[in-house]
Amino acid sequence: MNAELLFYVSGSIAVVASLFVVTNKNAVHALLYLVVSLLALAMCFYLLGAPFAAALQIIVYAGAIMVLFVFAVMIFNINQSDIDRESQWLKWQYWVGPSVLVMILLAEVVWVLQSQQTWSPSEVQLVDARAVGSLLFGPYLLAVEIASFLLLAGLVGGYHLAKELPQKAINKQDHKL
């Protein structure tokens, strides 16, 4: 099995998982598929010769950003129907899709790590941390800062949308109607 085939398998997993993210009605399941998609993209980065970008993809996106998304989902109002629905999330059928996709990615990672010695340096051009850092803090600095402000604005907006109004404010709104 060559690196090109593994790249296409990883890319296909990323596309399928991303489709499940968009089409899934349940936010927690969509987040699970988003993690799978991000892991598949990390594998694609690794196979393209950017191990540092792959590590950043896993640490920053699949780790930190997903924690932020889970936190945002958690701060939204939870009522009894949501709690009842949560018990259904624990059924094994809901975990089959993400588990199968992650197992395929795990098999790819194991194969790549075992056969890495056979790859020739001409096949893959490695991108080191210095090159990534000089690009992120050079020409792409504005894009990185805009992305961080968008994430912060989304978190603040989500908090304000999910926060319950005080009882006095609710009574005033009822009288206006």
Closest by alpha carbon to 7, among 62, 33, 46, 35?
A: 46
Q: What is the largest CA-CA distance in the chain?
A: 75
Given a cut of 60, whether residue 169 has pLDDT beyond it is no
> What's the residue count for the chain?
177
Q: Please, which pLDDT band fits residue 171 given cuts at 50, 70 and 90? A: low
Whole-number pLDDT of residue 119: 55
What's the pTM? 0.55
Cα–Cα distance between 40 and 38 in angstroms, integer?
5
Given a cut of 90, whether residue 13 has pLDDT beyond it is yes
- Percentage of the residues of the chain whose pLDDT score is greater than 70: 75
Whole-number pLDDT of residue 16: 92
Given a cut of 60, whether residue 37 has pLDDT beyond it is yes
Per-residue pLDDT, averaged over 152-164, amounts to 74
